[in-house]
Structure 1
Amino acid sequence: MSVYRFQHPVARLPIVILALALVSACAASNPDVVSRDGINDPNEARNRKVHAFNIKLDKAILRPAGQGYSKAVPDEFEDSINNFATNLAQPSMMVNSLLQGDFRGAGLSTVRFLTNTVLGFGGFVDAATEFQVPQHNTDFGETLYVWGAAEGPYVELPVVGPATRRDAVGRVVDMFTNPLTYSLPSPEKYYSTGAKLASRLGDRGRYSETVDSILYESADSYSQARLIYLQNRRFELGSSVGGDAADPYSDDPYSDIYEDPYAQ
């Protein structure tokens, strides 16, 4: 019987991440081919079909469920669920920060997780913010960005929604970067997934008017959603490393990411 079988699951985490990182880096390393308007979307026809499916899914299930959830659940309880989901994601952010060489970010994630877990009743209360510990958010998509992986073409994923090839790969890898997944027994290891789904459902209800204006009131909801996602994500990544956001619309001082470019 091999020694490997007796290893604690957390000990295998670096091996899993390294293997996934090598695969994902290769998958997201091709140079970008960006059009003059800053959009790289060679598979637009297929993406639009997925977008149409997502709208039908939202209209039939997600929108009414989100609105019903927000009406039935008090705001304070929604905030607690969001805090709990965010706290359980901190170990994954710590791992990604280390992979990025961001030791300050790894420290912040660690302090926030310990503080909220111990003093915040398992994370339901954001005690770390009360102690003025800054928020820190990151993911494997940002890790690939730091490593120099190209953004890749825009893609709309079923259910998940807008992404780029780099971020789509990052989301898959992030399913394996949380040490809690390897250390907690069942069913506790699934609490993070459940809390995240509840948090997303609550966000759909809480920000229903904004989401509806994009999906149902825009002249071209696909182009609008694509524009907002790319601008926000590029700004987020540019700001996270202290550089200028890679915003193709930054030469227009009057550009508004929420303005419908197809409105008459």
Structure 2
Amino acid sequence: MSATQPTLVFLHGFAESPEIWTDFTRGFPTRYRVLTPTLPGHGPNPQPVADYAMEAQARAVLAELDAAGADKVLLVGHSMGGYVALALAEAHPKRVAGLVLFHSTALPDPAEKQAARDESAGFVRRHGVEKYMRSAIRPLLAPANRKRLAAELKQLEETAAVTPETTILGCLEAMKHRPDNTHILRDAKFPVLFLGGHDDPAVPLETLLPQLALPAQSHAVLLRGVGHLGFIEEPELTRRAVLDFAAGVLGEIDTGK
């Protein structure tokens, strides 16, 4: 793997880990370098941090990119990973060749979502992370996929359950207070791909559709029968969407255009 290869950077979401991308990126063309950073406070050996703001998480990702010698990259962010990707794109737009918002949004939390995050934080404090995650992850799948993907769901729940309580509470608070980032899409000099699900309860289609018109170079793949976890609900379709997008975006870098 060379630092000169076109690079895709996959950012996992809240209470997830880089492992969500293992099967998804298996078999990617060898011409690409794939990086899967661990967001602060997450992963197999989580170390809680003082600041979970999206901007702070973006700085941590940037440090990993610098250490890997990755200059201009294609960012793929799932859910909270998309919020982090947007923060990185705002601070360092010249480092971004393209952006994939994978079940993510540039909008801030509306009042009802902020209240729901407060309720979730209260539940975690009273009952712990494991019990919270048993109730929080399953509804993210489209109803028709919950039984079919029982094994994948269990793995996600197990990963989430070992996330430190301080990380869960810190990220809930940080997501609640993140700003409106639609200006980043509007000002983007790079292409943006939106991957959305018709049955996504976290990023409803009616809130996502108006954002498609914001970037000058906008692409979208909106999937029926998919909730918030398209990387396991429709892995082949979402993988192909990312690779097709990467072929255009990173092909230009690779040829020096």
TM-score, structure 2 normalization:
0.28
The structure where strand makes up a greater share of residues is 2
Name the larger-Rg structure.
Answer: 1
Structure with bigger RCO (C-alpha 8 Å, 6+ apart)? 1
The structure where helix makes up a greater share of residues is 1
